[in-house]
A and B are shown apart, each in its own frame.
Chain A
Amino acid sequence: MEQKDMSIKNEKLDKLFLSIGKSLSGEPPFYIWPAPYSSPAECEFYLADYFLRDFYASFVKLEQKGYNVENIARMLKNPSRIAQLLWPFGHVVNVDGKFKEQLTELASLIIDFISFYKKDPFNQNGRNIIWSSRDISNYLSNEIIESSNDLFESYKAILSRLEGTLWLYSELLFFSIHEICKEFHGPYPLEDGRLILVREYYDLKPEFWPFAADLPYQKLLIFEIYRKNTKITFDFFGRFRTIKPLIQELDSFSLMIDDRTTLAYGDVKSVWESVSKTAVSGAKFAQKLSKMEIMEKFAYSYYYILKPLKDALNEEWPPSRMIFDDMKHERRKTIIENFYSNFRKMKDLPPDKMVEIISKVFDPRLK
């Protein structure tokens, strides 16, 4: 029985790391915010060991306090947020025997956490399906702005600005792991072939960025219906991909602010203005920070995922000062340089080989 369990677990982990490999192959990790100060990979090399040990310890302590796996999964809020917990696996350095076992257990747990939210935790078919058909029907019964509306072109113009600004704002807050604050899901097909995409922004005011407190909204939900054959895909990390501006294919939409539906053009415009105002002041604030301060904020983004677990344990949630000390003294410099050098060599490899290499880099069983 134990052997069978082990085999199921290994199969699940194989699928996980293959999904990660597929999501990341062909994507050079350069010029991504916190560029030009640093890079996501550089910051993750500094925090990965501390963060994953801390995450594992929190999980064990919560279990001892009587929390089960589902309780902990629900505390972590959303599946794409949970998926971000896998990034540090690719940058962990000091893996001794016991830690290797813990990492393997954590990876398996992360899949279990995500499975409480959706049937396919790997988004294998390029879809991120979270809502049931009943959720969709309920939402469709609400009022919605349709393409027949006289102001539809004006709505589209302001909506694309809102979506672009929200994207930049969420990146400003959470760097490369901005799925921490949002869950985009779908596409859900309608009978006539049109597709529903739901963009949920649910955590737009993290306390570690002072300017975020000025945003009047905690949550925004944009419910969108696109024309037939619109190409929308998701990768394992919940990142959605398109090949052209989706706004051109928009057929109808509605906007919900903190659980209240807003349809008036003036209200949609006012939401965009508020988001822009906070986002611009945020960018100006971030511009005044030093490289070290920016890298610290990156570490805060990760630890913010663990905050609900730490709160339940009555523990402080911010990152360990040891991470910042390592950053300050560039204690991972050589490792980071080797990483980039190896990555550059990979660019001419066939896609299958790239997937294989990336999958192995993340897999703790092979460390």
Chain B
Amino acid sequence: MVGNRVILKGNPASPGLAEGKAVVILDPTEQGKIIEKGILVAPFTTPLLLPVLIKSAGIVTDKGGVMCHAAIIAREFGIPCVTGTEEATKKIENGSEVIVDGTKGYVHQK
């Protein structure tokens, strides 16, 4: 990951590394475009995001800690997750390439 700028720091909620296109969803009651192995970026997660979540390779949220919904779900799916970044939905552009480091709690711009 040398050369990939850290753009956000949050809680390391589910370990591992994942990279992919960001799927930014501001309102969980609306579905974003589903991208196979995308990185879901949302204020928080709910089962309404199920169609996107089951295709995601990683999760980044604005809210929550290591026991929040996104964290629990990510661990069940076995995918990396960073929670509580406060501004992921503001800083990450939809469709941009990002790397989620769920072990350290960092999000990198690729």
Contacts and interface: CB of A to CB of B under 8 A. Distances in A.
Contact of A283 (B43, B51, B76): B51
Contacts, number: 93
Interface in B19-50: 27-31, 43-44, 46-50
A35 interface: yes
A284 B51 contact: yes
Interface string B9-22: 00000111000000
Given A27-B67, A36-B28, A286 B48 contact: yes
A244 B14 contact: yes
B75 A245 contact: yes
B15 A279 contact: no
A245 B31 contact: no
Interface residues of A, number: 37
Nearest to A159: B78
B75 A244 contact: yes
Contact of B50 (A35, A161, A246, A282): A282
A169 B63 contact: no
B78 A169 contact: no
> Interface of chain A, helix or strand or loop or mixed?
helix
A37 to B, nearest CB: 8
A276 B14 contact: no
Interface in B42-70: 43-44, 46-51, 53-54, 63-64, 66-69
A164 B76 contact: yes
Contacts of B66: 243
A264 interface: no
Contacts of B31: 284, 287
A168 interface: yes
8 contacts: A31-B44, A33-B46, A36-B29, A165-B50, A171-B47, A244-B75, A280-B54, A287-B48
Considering the complex of A and B, which 7 residue pairs feature the smallest CB-CB distances, nearest first? A164-B77, A283-B50, A172-B47, A160-B78, A31-B44, A245-B78, A247-B78
